[in-house]
Every structure is written in C-alpha cells, then in structure tokens.
Amino acid sequence: MTLSKPYTQNHLDFDSAAQETALDISHELRTPLTAIQGALDLLDSGRLGLLTEQGQRMVSIAASNVERLMRLTTTIEQEPNTIFNLVSPEELARLRLETELRSAVAHGELRLHYQPLVSLATCQINGFEALLRWQHPTLGLLAPTEFISIAEASGSILEIGLWVLREACHQLYQWQQQFPDRFGNLSVSVNLSSRQLTCIDLAAQIDQVLQETGLAAEFLKLEITETAAMNNAEVGKNVLHQLRSLGVQLYIDDFGTGYSSLNRLYDLPLDVLKIDRSFVQQLDSERGEYLVRAIANLARSLGIDVIAEGVETQEQVLKLQSLGCYRGQGYFFAKPLNSEAVVQLLC
C-alpha cells in the first residue's frame, strides 16, 4: 500500500487486498446472523406456540443484538475506515494469511515432504523426517518458516500438528503394508510444537492416532526443539514421560541453539540429540569441530544417540564420523521428497 498523503488512524484508504479481507470478515459474520434472524422470526411468529413474557424479553434482546451485528457487517463493507486502524502491508498480509491458514486443513492444502535419515557409514536410509508444507492456492508451496509462527500465535498449530501426526503415521503404515521389504523397519519423525507440549491430553491424542492408523509406536519418533523442552520444564517433563510410556522415541531438535540445563537434560526421557545444522556448517573450523565433539560426548554420557542435521558435503560426512556422530540428514543425501518420490527412491 502506497500512501500519497497523511492519514490519521481513522482515515484509511483500503487497497484491494484489504477491501477483500473486510468483505470476507463481513460474510463470515453475516451468514450465521441471517440464520439466527430467521430462527428468531420463527419464535416470534407464534407458530411454535405463544411466547411467555420472559420468552418475549429474551427474543427481543437477541433480536436487538442481531440487528447491531448486522449493522456492523454493513459498516465493515461500506465504511471500513471507521472500523479499521491503519496497518502496514506486511501486517495486512499476515492477518490475511492467518485467516486462510485456519481453513487450510479443511481445504486439503497441507502437504508432507519426507527427508531421509541415513547411516553416515553406509548411506542406508533408516527413517524419514516429516516436514510440513502449505500448498497455498495463490502463493504456491510455502515452507513452514513462512507460516508456522502465525499458526503458533493464532492457536491453529494444534489442529495442524494433529493433522501432521495423523498423516505421517498413516503414510508410513501404508508404505509398510505395500512395500514390507523396503519400509518394514523404517521410522518417521514428526515435529511437535511448544503449544502441543502444553496439552495435557497430548499423549492420549497420539495414542489415538496410532490406534486409528495402525502404526506401531516403535516406528514413530517425536521431535521437540531444545527451547520447547526447557520452557515450562515441569509440564513438559510430565508430558514427555507420558509420550515415552506409549513406546515412541523422543528427539531433541536443533540441539545447541537453546539454553539447556544439564540437570534438566538428564531428567528427560530422551533418545536422540539432533545437532543443529549451524554447527555442521562450521565443521571446517576448530570451534565447530569442538562443539560437535562436545555434543556427541554429551549424548554418549546420557546414553543416547546423536544425529547431524544439514549435512551437505562428503567432508562433513567423514568429519562427523570421526567425532562420534554416525547418523545424519541433509541435501548431501536427499532433499525433502513428496510421497511419490520417496517410493521411487526406495523401490
């Protein structure tokens, strides 16, 4: 939006995108209000019986509120300047994306791509990480960096996260049934958001997903960021123990970028630390080599495994093995693939 003259907060010329958003909001309000108005008219008509004095008062109050809301929709459509304050094009785009994201699951716009997790020594694939994408109807295929923060802030991440879990488990189970020789021992890892970790029924949700899809718990790995694991530590700890009791494995993602307490790490039921890609990219420096070795040694002291993210060169593969890291993922092996490409890769 280009402003050619000064504007006060209550004097805003909407561009076409803003006007369209305002009309969408008006439509979302008007549709149920029309139905409510029809129901109130039916109550007031006497066809269902005569209203008591209290009933008349309640219907009258409801009708007045509906009338006020209908006036609001008209104002939004005809005089948006009196409703909306001036916002930047970026803020407007974010609000519009938030609105569209709320219906992305229902409209079938979300996709999963799968990046192989491999043995660094043999390049044998032993699992996949499920990575979310949004096939936006006008913006094309969006990476999670372009919308996950919006989903977190709006709360829609809970519905999206559950969809990812169900889709990933269903897909792996289908592969196992169709290609038991190729997929029989492979696992899938799914990222959990910090918001999901605060859900006290998360373990029950995941257990239900496993039951519905038929996937055995041992083939599901759940990834949480280091920061999410450390925030709300006591709540997170309880949830992680519940998840671990299901038989799934727990990974700490992007390890090294947060502020983990060693005491807390020792207290969590973890199976894998995933070394953040930023450290892998620094392996050609003394500092980077030292940090990766330290993380690998820490994992060994915890009695757990370690996986390197963002592996891009043969030199990194060799260096990681020399430092005690034997599994990894990255573009050196394969970029994230759609489900059809995964089948072609393995079959």
Q: Determine how many CB atoms are found less than 10 A away from the CB of residue 23.
A: 14
Pairwise CA distance, residues 11 & 173, whole Å: 56
Domain 99-346: give its CATH architecture: Alpha-Beta Barrel (3.20)
Q: What is the pTM of this model?
A: 0.76
Q: What is the pLDDT of residue 133?
A: 98
Q: What is the pLDDT of residue 84?
A: 56
- pLDDT, averaged in runs of 10, over the chain (347 residues): 32 55 71 76 72 76 78 72 62 86 94 97 95 96 94 93 98 95 94 90 97 98 88 76 96 79 80 95 93 93 95 97 96 96 92
Asked whether the beta carbons of 110 and 163 are under 8 A apart, the reply is yes
Q: Is 238 exposed, middle or buried (0-12, 13-18, 19+ CB in 10 A)?
A: middle
Q: What is the pLDDT of residue 79?
A: 66
Asked whether the beta carbons of 107 and 167 are under 8 A apart, the reply is no
Pairwise CA distance, residues 9 & 50, whole Å: 49
Q: What is the pLDDT of residue 82?
A: 61
Pairwise CA distance, residues 76 & 140, whole Å: 29
Pairwise CA distance, residues 42 & 55, whole Å: 13
Question: Residues near 166 by Cβ (< 8 Å), separated by ≥ 6?
Answer: 209, 212, 213
- Of 51, 114, 174, 167, give the one whose Cα is nearest residue 337: 114
Across-strand partners of 255? 275
Name the E strands within the chain.
110-119, 125-136, 140-142, 187-191, 220-225, 249-255, 272-275, 305-308, 327-328
Q: What is the pLDDT of residue 11?
A: 36
Q: What is the pLDDT of residue 241?
A: 92
- Of 66, 70, 61, 90, give the one whose Cα is nearest residue 30: 70
Q: What is the pLDDT of residue 109?
A: 97
Q: What is the pLDDT of residue 334?
A: 96
Q: What is the pLDDT of residue 314?
A: 97
- What are the C-alpha distances in Å from 211 to residues 78, 170, 202, 326, 338? 51, 10, 14, 32, 25
